[in-house]
Each structure stands twice: as structure tokens, then as C-alpha cells.
Structure 1
């Protein structure tokens, strides 16, 4: 009979032996896998089930007593005999053994799901160069013989998912390796880059006020403030609903007419509105230094250790504005993805993830403001996840807050107001339309950045169809609104289309590199290029010349003067289109008399001009301009059928010329920022005896410009 390995075991108990002795198992026997352990425990359970039941044991014990045939009562009234005492002990042992087996089985079966994350099979490829540093490319083969799909990039302590543009690094590998052969600490390109870095640091230092910077009531002139407020309300506020506009305007007007001391909470909110409005105030972001000052003041104020007493709607509004302002004005190095995660947790702690209808009864305005703020936070979290390559860290199961209802701002002041039908355009119609696409966009980002995502190409195609269907429905709703008295502005339509194209491009971009070698991915190549072209056209339409509508001008300023999601997306689209041009040139067999994609040739020239305009508007990151310049030189060299050596020489020369262009702009910016009476340091006097090598110069220093700017990861 099988031993149940109890102490004592069942066999020894029947034989009336007091002790059991077990042989020590061999090391091989002791080192069992989790499945073997479950099997052993299952065997113990089978042995346990084969034992007599407690009722059988009691009956067996009673059968040995005198008078058992007359009933159990006679045995239960007397003193226990040795046999009955043994039976009770055996029952206790069996109960204890059952508890042990249940506990072991539970811990053994539960442990794998708690300690192990099931991830798709992946390979790790390490790429090192003096220009690019050391990067680890995490790839995934979908089936035997398939080309590897890039899943993520890691560099030192940083890890970025597939939606981050740096995962396209393999597309630039040839150009990095070519320059790597030339780059030395004394080469002209390295010296020029170091000069740009030195001047860029000086510019940023002159812009930044002292820390901490106390919040003051000092503002720009009323005329300037009025213009900045309108820039904000007619731009960013139309897409990201944060403020109740009538309430904000009342407080703003009172600020200029009342003799009462200003409310510090509102002053902080106003300064962030002014900073955001400054990004579209003019073509060169002339108020950048003031915007930085205002953000520093609010950051100092919000860092004061008075959190709990401030936890309310106005404080949350200010936090949202601060996250947006820091990203769009490029203040500080904190990733917007991290900042949005903190923002999300503040909102959850306030209960915004629960629909107001499920909470205590409150006013219509309170309900709708909570829904609007939650909707805006969801949008910002998703966009930051897409840009940073981090997982969204939220699912639709974790909240039940409904989308904002179709109210204008003046309606929600009235309790019991009825929302308007979708066909009537209101001040929340555009955010509501974007919310209709939220579920499909969330699936896209999860597919790209989720660690457990296997990402088959069929799933990509399925999400492509779902994303397009949701956008088609949202677009239909907005088009229906255009038939009424009020309609969405051109700015709102441009932003909505731009956002959707960005997600569509991100969905297919992982297969773009594969499509250059494998025709079965041609659809992804087509969708990537088309989406990039649509995003780029939103900027190029303003620079084409001729009369420009205010809405188009405002969007063009947004993508040129601001930092963050919109400018980065335009830059990425321009790089993608230039890469497509390079691939087209390389694939050209020379038999066609027509020029190679004249539309892409125009994009190449226009994108370089646009990147230079971003530097003239105050951008100190010159990597985008440098990358486009050397790509252009490579393409022109291929078209002229130059040798590899000649192409490398032209690439390096183009890089040096690009850095000289940037230096001219930086000198002009420094002249404006330097205190009166001081002279700009001559570039020849800049210390170029580097203590860092080329790898540190191009990787660590470039990447440490601020992780809030994902463009910093292009090298």
C-alpha cells in the first residue's frame, strides 16, 4: 500500500508503530520542478482519498468494543479505551495532513502566476558605435524564418517601448556607422557640435530664473495678457477642456478692475494660461523667457507642503495646466509620462474615476467639470505613453466615468440642464469626438508598449480597421455639426485629424523597416508614409505662401514654437518621409525618366527649413536639424551615384554646415539674452579640450538634455 508519508504514516499507525523513519532523498529527487511538485502533491491527495473516511475509522474503532452490536451509546458513555484513543489521534493527524496538502497545492499552483510574466520569445541584439553609443535592440520573431520585429530599445538604465521613435534606430544604422568611421575628438563635426552644445547650455541658463522663484502678482501689460488668454482659449482649451471659461473670464476681469488682493490660486492658474498662450502668440515665440519665468513661479508655489488642503478642482486644473506648460515650453527634464502618471493618481484620489452619477448628489457644473477633467487626463496619459514608449498603465475596467455630456459652458451653470444632441456643436464636441476613439487608441498603445503583448501582424491589421472605424464615426459626428449654426473650427479639425494620424502611423511604423525587405508588409509601408504625409501637410500648408487663415496659422505656430507631442510628431513625420525618399532612391532601377517622387523631394527641402525655424523660435536641441541635414546629403550622394567614401565626406560636410547654421542663430539668441554691458564669449575661446569622449558627447550629453523631449533619444 502506498505510504502517505505522514508522521507517523498511515501504514505505521495500522501496525501500531510509534515512529516512522524515511530515507533522505537524493539531490536529484529534491530538485523537482513545479510540475513534479504538483504531481507529488496530487499523488498525496490520491493516497489520502484511498484512506478510510473518518466515519469508517469511528465505526472500525467501535467494532472492537464490547457491546458494539447493541449501539454506540454504550461505548460513548464509558472511559476511552486504547483503541478509541488511537482513532481520535489518527483523525487529528489526517485533518492536519489535509490542511498541509491543501496549503502546498495552493502555493505551488499560485506561485507561477505571481512571480513569472509570460512574455513572447525575444532576442537581444547589441549595437555599439562611437556616435550612437551602446543600444540593446529587443526583437521578436513571429514565426520560424520570419524577420525580427523590433519591440523595444534599452540604453543604460532606460527602456523604451515600440511606440518610441528610437525603435527606428536600425533605419539609421548605416549613416551612424559611416560617420563613426570619421568621428574623432578633433574632427570638424565634433568641434562644431560641442560649440553648439556649449552655447545651448548658456542660452538655457540665461532663460532660467533663480530657484525657488516665489509666485508674484506681476503680469505683462493687459493688452498682452488679453492676447495670450485668447490664444490659449482659441487653441489648447478647445481640445483639452480644463477651465470653465465663464468662471475664468469673470475672475480674469476682476483681477484688473478690483482693488482686492489677487487670489494666489487664480494667479497661478492664470500664469500657466499665459505661458501656454505664448506658444502661439507669434511666429518666433518672443515671450519664451517670460513663459519660463511664469512656469517656475507656479512650480515653486505648487511645491509648497500644503497638499491636502488644496486637493480640489482648481488645484487639479492647475496641475493639468502645469504638466502641459512644462512639456510645451520645454521646462525641466521630467518625462511627461511620469508627470501624467502622478496627475492620474491625484485624480483617482479625488474620485474622478467614478462617474459623478454614482457618487453623492451634486450640481450639474460639478458633475460636468469632473467628467471634463477626467477626460482630459485620459487623453494626456495616452499621448504621453505614445511619445515616451511607456505602457499606458490604465484600462477601461479601472474607471466608469462617462464622457462629458454635450453642454456649452454657460449651460452647466443651471442645475438640471439637458444636454444637447450630438448633431449640435458645443464647446465639448471635439473632446467628445476624440473620446469616441479612445478605446481603439488605447489598444494601439498597449499593443506597442505592453510587455506581454505578442503583436502578430494580424492583430495590427485588426486594430488598423478598428482605429479607422472609430475615427470615421467621430469624423461623421463633427461633420454633422458643421451643418448647424455653430461648427468646429479649422484648428479643431486639424488637431483631431493630426492626433488620429499619429496613432495610425505609430501602429504601422514597427513594420516599416521590414517592409523594405519583405513585400508582405507593403500595406504597413503605405499606411506609415500616408499618415506621415498627412501630419507633415498640416505644417507645410502654412509655409506654402499666400493667405493663411488664423486657425492654420495658429496650428503652424503650435508645431513650430512649442515642444512636446505636436512638434515631435511633425519632426518624426518629416524624418519618415525623408527615409522613404532614401529607400525610393535606393530602389530606383534607372529606367524611369520621371523624377523620383517630387513630392518627397519637396518635403526634404521644406523639412530642413522648418527645423531651422524651430531653432530660430528658441529651440536649443539641434539634433533634429543635424539628422535631416546628413540624411539629405546621403540621398543627394546616392542620386549623383557617388562612391561610399564620397558620400561619407558629403555627409560630414553637411553636418558641419548645419552646425554652423545653428551657431549663427544661437549667437543672435545670446545677444538678446545677455545682460547689457556684457559681451558674448568668442567661439574661438570656448574650451574644446573635452574630458568626455565622442560617445559621451553624442549619447549621454545629448540624451540628458531632458527626457521630456523624446527627440533627445534619436542618437
Structure 2
């Protein structure tokens, strides 16, 4: 079926080609044409389903058509909606944005849930009475200044310079108690003596070990203090490691250490938010490097080797598989991994210190070791891989029956995993971070599986289970990322996972944000349906109200994008207006005002991060003749390119427009 845009006329202007001076009436005319075409298409599909019921076969991929959405505040997006769903339900099968196409697990698929909010504001923005777009442009420029201040020159010459030992000790400990407990990368008894030797008077550690150490430090910096004060140092360490790995002479030295550094680099890039939008591409190169040296073959199928070597190969391969799935989910791309592509067994249930012995004895499954969590997660791999293939593979049928079947398998695996995590003896058991991280990972798979049907479920009881599953999982994710104390919206002592969600980029923060938007969408629907809010509605209202505050604290901790904060403020304002019975005709102006107020909150924080102060008595001279600390050289007039790009408002975790600045990160 042709895209709707083909039926609305010979030419539909987009913001990438239309100047800012486009009249409000012209924009409304084109928007009306697009809307009419969309409604005609829905009517056609609804009519066709009344005469014949479509029953897709297992080999029939979902068929889609594109719904074109243009907004000066957000972006130009084509939502690839399913054309074969009975009843004409709007099911997003992917997003086309600029020259990229994202599968169903990508965060932008959530755009369909609040598209009406963005479109409602558009006429007011086009009328020229609001300064919102100019304010966002200023925020964008400030974000660029902040990033340029943090980022060293490229390529960055690797050095052996380190912070004081007591600081490094804390950063190493931060890494070891967090990411290393879930994704096994290093052998701690081998790593620590090398680390201690770095501080010897005449030490000359290898540059390979220094890069491994600096990446460990960079990851540890994300939980070091409440505002990630070492973000600039962590960014430099990531740049140094990337420069070193990109060296042509290093590529020939394939081996376990190369893969360890590559894995740590991917984790650091994601968490420190350096070229994080490209990690899915990079994990593919790491995966092929591992296959090149035979890690996809179990050591029992290879020439004899020591137990420690065999176990490290199994651990590294297991971690590569885990990260391939995680980064596939984030990017909305196929995992490009099948269960038949490898025969490497899961790691053995050993503690690290056992592997230094010649013939260690593997511990029983019920005994907790440093590898137990990796083993337990591995048992859920088939069901998690099925979710990603269902969401992102080209040949996926996308039927709701398949969704429910995969859900049952995933929940069964999750139930077994929970029993395993809870079954270890009390004297030795997983840490709080480990338990929370594993639960976070599993809940995200449940949410991702059901999100494609969530928007349709708000109006169609056929998909009610997906609505319930999405809300329940989102509440659990939010509770892990933003735990609260009794009587207080903030915990007295922040957990490692909560701090990583707030201070770091990547997986944890991204899905905390997603969870809050799903819950806000559910709240909007409930407020429209119910006269007397129930307990769940009250809980949802609390989450939505707190979500903007959480994202503001992310900005205070170094996040440079305002888009998440603005959107959460808009969703909260919409819910509040619905509760107060505000007439729908008044909503557009109210939302624009809320967005303007949100930028007024964000910009001063960004100015502090950029080292810029608003001009005031006695300070103008220090800030320069323009009173802007050098920002006067930047053009704050919104360009057509800016008007097209919603991504510019978000950090690199959500932003995909600066890939050309990180060519080295494609390696």
C-alpha cells in the first residue's frame, strides 16, 4: 500500500526544505492533507477487515505503510504502521528518521504515544508568538559548548597519567561492585596485582594494561559521587582507549586482552556517553573478532588448554553475547546472532581465585560464585533472543498471538531466574546492585515485547494484556531506577543502580526515561476514562510528577539534553490539566507555556555547566562585551536543519546526528 503522503498532492513541504517564514495557514493546510490521507487509509483498512478476516501465516512478514509527521518542535518522522492488523489498530513496526530505520525495540517507537501532544502545539509555534524554538536552539548551542569542553582532541594520545591512588582505588571498587558482577570481563586476581604494581616508583606498565585500567576507572566514575564530578576525566580515558584500539598496529594482536579492552570500551562509551549511539555497530566488530579467534567454539572442541584459559574464553564470549542483545535492543537493530551460531558452553561456576589452581573443582549450582549471575542470565538467553528477533528481524510476522507465546516463554525463564537469584545461601549471595540490574534487564525485555501494542491497547481491549504488562514492568523499572524512601520522594542513600541511572548514559537511564513516558501515557488514558481515580492512578500521577524532577537532576549531573525534561513536563501538564477539567481548546497554549517554562529551568543549569553566567551588575566585564562568555559568536537563529531535528535536544544516548564526528568509534 502506498504511503499516505502520495495521496495528498504532488508536493508536501517538509521543514528540511521549508524556510522559517512559512505561513501558519500553509502549514495547517499541509498538516490537514496528511491527516485526511491518514484517516482515508484507516477507513480503507477498517472496511477491508469487515469483509474478510486476515490470518497471517508464520512466514508472512508484517506489511507496513508510513505515516508522515512534521513538527517544528520535534522532528520529521515516518511511523511504519502495520497494515494487516484487524480493526485498523495503529501498531508501530518501526521508525524511519532521516536516513535511518529503527526496529520496534528502538525508543523512538514511543513517539506515537504522544504525537498528539506535539502536533497540538504546532500551530502556536508556527504563529511566531512563542520563543520556545529559539530557547531550544540556545540550549542546543550550550550543549555543544559543554561537550566541546569535555572532549579532548582526536586522536587522543594515550598516556600513563592517573589520578591519585586513593581516588583510583575508589573508582576500581566502583566498577568491581557494579558492572563486573553482571558482565564478567576481567580476572580480578590477575588484574589487582598489575594494578598495584602501577604505583611502584619505577613502574612502566604496558599501555594495554593502562587502557584496560582507564576504562575500568571511567566506568567506576559513574557511581563515584552524586554528580559524576570526574566526567571530563572519564571522557578523556575513553578517547585515549579508542585512539589506542584504533591503531593499525594493535589490530593484529587479537587475543583475550584485546577483547577485554574492547568490551570495557563499549561499556564505557555507553555509560560515559561518548559515541554511545554507535555501540551496536561496534559490538558487531567485537563479535566477529571473537569468532575470528574461535570463542564461538567451546574450548572442549579446541586443542587442550588450561582451565583458566578455557574459562576466560567462555566468560568473554558470554559477555559479548549479552552485550550484543542489549545493544541490539537499544539500537532497534537485529541481533544477528542465532543459537546455532555457537556451541560455547556457559562459564563454569568458579570463583576467580579458583582458576589460579591447576585443577579447580567447579562448585554446585546452588553455591554462589562470582560467575553465578552470568550463568543464570545465560539460561534466559533463548527467550530474550526470541524477543529481539521478533521485534527487529525483517522476516518477523509481528502477530499478537506470537507476542503472547513469546511472553509466556520469557516469563517462565524470568521466574526460574528469580528463584535462582533468591536461592543462594545467606552467607554468600548477589549484591543489591546485581539483583536490581538483573531484574531491570528482564523487565525491559517484557516492556519492549509489549510496547508495539501498548498504544493500540489504550483503545482496543483485544490488546489489554499488553497494556497491563507494559504498565507493570514500567513501574518496576521506575522503582529500581528512582527508589523512594517512606515519606520522601528521594531515598536517603542512593543505590548504585539509581546513581548510575541518573549520572550515567545508556541502558539504565534510557529505560528509566522510557518507563516514565509509558506511565504518563497510561495516566492520560485513565484520567480520561475515570471519574474517581483509583490507587494505581494516584501512583501513576506521583511517578509522572516526579519524573521531570528526576530528569532535571540528570541535567544537573552533567546531561546536556533538554528534550527529555521538556517532554516529561508536557506530559505532566497534560495530566494536570485533564484532572482540573481544562477545556481541550486551551491545552495548546498551556502546553507551549509549560515547555517555555521548562527551558527557562534548563538553560541556567546548562550555562553553569558551560561556565557561562547570565549578565548582571559587576559581571558583564568578566563575561566579555556581549555578556555571554563567548557564546555571542554562536548563531542562535533556528536553522531549517535545526527545525527538522528532534534528536538535537537530547544527549548522545538518544541522539544520532553526530556520528560523523566519531568515525573512530565505528571500529
TM range (shorter): 0.7 to 0.9
Cα–Cα, structure 1 residues 542 and 637, in superposed 2: closer, same or farther, change >3 Å?
A: closer
**Aligned pairs for 1:442-461 within 5 A:** 442-461=385-404
Query: C-alpha displacement at 1:258, in angstroms?
Result: 5.1
Aligned counterpart for 1:622 among listed residues 552, 562, 574: 562
Question: Tell me, what secondary structure is at the counterpart of 1:181?
Answer: helix
Any runs of at least 4 consecutive aligned residues in structure 1 with deviations exceeding 4 A, and if so which?
Answer: 542-550, 593-596, 683-689, 703-708, 710-713
2:102 equivalent to 1:160? yes
The superposition leaves residues 563-584 of structure 1 with CA deviations (integer Å, 9 ceiling, x where unpaired) of 0111101110011111111111
Q: What is the alpha-carbon distance in structure 2 between the residues aligned to residue 282 and residue 508 of structure 1?
A: 36
The superposition leaves residues 413-441 of structure 1 with CA deviations (integer Å, 9 ceiling, x where unpaired) of 12222211110000011111111111100
Q: What is the alpha-carbon distance in structure 2 between the residues aligned to residue 600 and residue 705 of structure 1?
A: 24
Query: C-alpha displacement at 1:486, in angstroms?
Result: 0.8
Q: What is the alpha-carbon distance in structure 2 between the residues aligned to residue 445 and residue 318 of structure 1?
A: 26
Q: What is the alpha-carbon distance in structure 1 between the residues aligned to residue 130 and residue 88 of structure 2?
A: 41
**Aligned pairs for 1:461-540 within 5 A:** 461-481=404-424, 483-540=425-482
Higher relative contact order (CA 8 A, sep 6+): 2
The superposition leaves residues 650-675 of structure 1 with CA deviations (integer Å, 9 ceiling, x where unpaired) of 111111111111111112212299xx
Cα–Cα, structure 1 residues 361 and 522, in superposed 2: closer, same or farther, change >3 Å?
A: same
Q: What is the alpha-carbon distance in structure 2 between the residues aligned to residue 245 and residue 355 of structure 1?
A: 23
Question: Tell me, what secondary structure is at the counterpart of 1:342?
Answer: helix
The superposition leaves residues 485-521 of structure 1 with CA deviations (integer Å, 9 ceiling, x where unpaired) of 3111111110111100000011111111111111111
Q: What is the alpha-carbon distance in structure 2 between the residues aligned to residue 234 and residue 626 of structure 1?
A: 34
Aligned counterpart for 1:640 among listed residues 580, 583, 600: 580
**Aligned pairs for 1:11-160 within 5 A:** 119-160=61-102
2:505 aligns with 563
Which of 1 and 2 has greater Rg?
1
Question: Tell me, what secondary structure is at the counterpart of 1:351?
Answer: coil
Aligned counterpart for 1:605 among listed residues 545, 554, 562: 545
Q: What is the alpha-carbon distance in structure 1 between the residues aligned to residue 468 and residue 146 of structure 2?
A: 41
Which blocks of at least 5 consecutive residues in structure 1 are unaligned?
Answer: 1-116
Q: What is the alpha-carbon distance in structure 1 between the residues aligned to residue 649 and residue 283 of structure 2?
A: 20
Contact 1:335/1:709 (<8 A) preserved: no
Cα–Cα, structure 1 residues 269 and 596, in superposed 2: closer, same or farther, change >3 Å?
A: closer
Cα–Cα, structure 1 residues 669 and 587, in superposed 2: closer, same or farther, change >3 Å?
A: same
Q: What is the alpha-carbon distance in structure 1 between the residues aligned to residue 599 and residue 217 of structure 2?
A: 33
2:34 aligns with none
2:322 equivalent to 1:379? yes
Root mean square deviation of aligned Cα: 2.5
2:293 equivalent to 1:346? no
Q: What is the alpha-carbon distance in structure 2 between the residues aligned to residue 229 and residue 452 of structure 1?
A: 44
Which blocks of at least 5 consecutive residues in structure 2 are unaligned?
Answer: 1-58, 614-620, 659-667
Q: How many residues align?
A: 589
Q: What is the alpha-carbon distance in structure 1 between the residues aligned to residue 439 and residue 118 of structure 2?
A: 34
The superposition leaves residues 399-421 of structure 1 with CA deviations (integer Å, 9 ceiling, x where unpaired) of 11111110000111122222111
**Aligned pairs for 1:258-407 within 5 A:** 259-332=202-275, 334-407=277-350
1:211 aligns with 154
Query: C-alpha displacement at 1:250, in angstroms?
Result: 0.6
Q: What is the alpha-carbon distance in structure 1 between the residues aligned to residue 85 and residue 542 of structure 2?
A: 40
Cα–Cα, structure 1 residues 189 and 686, in superposed 2: closer, same or farther, change >3 Å?
A: farther
Query: C-alpha displacement at 1:379, in angstroms?
Result: 0.7
Q: What is the alpha-carbon distance in structure 2 between the residues aligned to residue 331 and residue 408 of structure 1?
A: 33
Cα–Cα, structure 1 residues 494 and 712, in superposed 2: closer, same or farther, change >3 Å?
A: farther
Q: What is the alpha-carbon distance in structure 2 between the residues aligned to residue 686 and residue 649 of structure 1?
A: 33
Cα–Cα, structure 1 residues 190 and 627, in superposed 2: closer, same or farther, change >3 Å?
A: same
Aligned counterpart for 1:671 among listed residues 604, 611, 627: 611
Question: Tell me, what secondary structure is at the counterpart of 1:217?
Answer: coil
2:187 equivalent to 1:251? no
